[in-house]
Amino acid sequence: MDERRSEERLEVSLDAVWDGRRGNYTARVIDLSEGGCFVDTLGEASVGELLTLKVQLQGSTWLELTGEVAHHLGTVGFGLRFVNLSDEQMEQLRSFLATDARANLS
């Protein structure tokens, strides 16, 4: 797969839930950037599908994001490209990436 990301992705391990056309599923986000993430899940989503992803950032803080499925890897999960994020959602995501996600890398 060609690397088309413009943002640095950080390895994370975050609990998540997502709602798509086929239902809602539990998941784990394993990498994250301002532009998207990879969702490790048994639930299936179609390339191009718009869905809602809720990610547990820290403690009881959940961030709700909207994204488009960019690619799907069989039973492993899918890459999600964030779309239509509000300024508040972007600020919360940027803050997490700048502080909490990097702190967990050490």
**Tens of pLDDT, residues 72-90:** 887 899 999 999 999 999 9
Q: Is 98 left (phi over 0), alpha (psi -120 to 50) or beta?
A: alpha
User: The domain that contains 54 carries what CATH number?
Assistant: 2.40.10.220
DSSP string, 40-102: E-SS---TT-EEEEEEEEETTEEEEEEEEEEEEETTTEEEEEE-S--HHHHHHHHHHHHTHHH
User: Looking at the whole model, is its pTM more than 0.75?
Assistant: yes
**Tens of pLDDT, residues 39-48:** 999 988 999 9
pLDDT at residue 106 greater than cutoff 50: no
How many whole angstroms from its chain centre is CA 17?
Answer: 10
The answer to whether residue 92 is domain-embedded is no
The answer to whether residue 100 is domain-embedded is no
